[in-house]
C-alpha cells in the first residue's frame, strides 16, 4: 500500500499537487513535480486520521524555484 501525499509550497503554504509514494518519503528525498521541476522535501507532516478512518493525511513541504 503506497502513501498519497499532498505536496505543499513552503513559500506560499498552498498545495501544489498530490503525489503517490511507494513508502514514506524521507525529508531529504528528491523527486520531480508534474511540471518536471526537481525538488527536495524539506519537511514531512503526518496528521491524525479522521474519526473512523485509517489513512492519515501526509504533507510534504518543498521549495519551488520562482519562475522567471
CA separation for the pair 52, 39 (Å, rounded): 34
**Is residue 58 predicted with pLDDT exceeding 90?**
yes
Predicted pLDDT of residue 51: 92
Predicted pLDDT of residue 57: 92
CB atoms under 10 Å from CB of 25, counted, come to 17
Predicted pLDDT of residue 1: 65
Predicted pLDDT of residue 41: 92
Binned at pLDDT 50, 70 and 90, residue 38 comes out as very high
Amino acid at each position: 500500500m503506497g502513501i498519497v501525499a499532498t505536496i505543499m509550497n513552503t513559500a506560499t503554504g498552498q498545495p501544489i499537487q498530490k503525489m503517490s509514494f511507494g513508502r514514506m518519503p524521507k525529508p531529504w528525498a528528491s523527486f520531480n513535480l508534474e511540471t518536471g521541476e526537481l525538488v527536495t522535501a524539506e519537511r514531512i507532516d503526518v496528521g491524525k486520521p479522521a474519526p473512523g478512518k485509517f489513512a492519515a493525511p501526509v504533507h510534504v513541504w518543498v521549495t519551488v524555484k520562482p519562475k522567471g
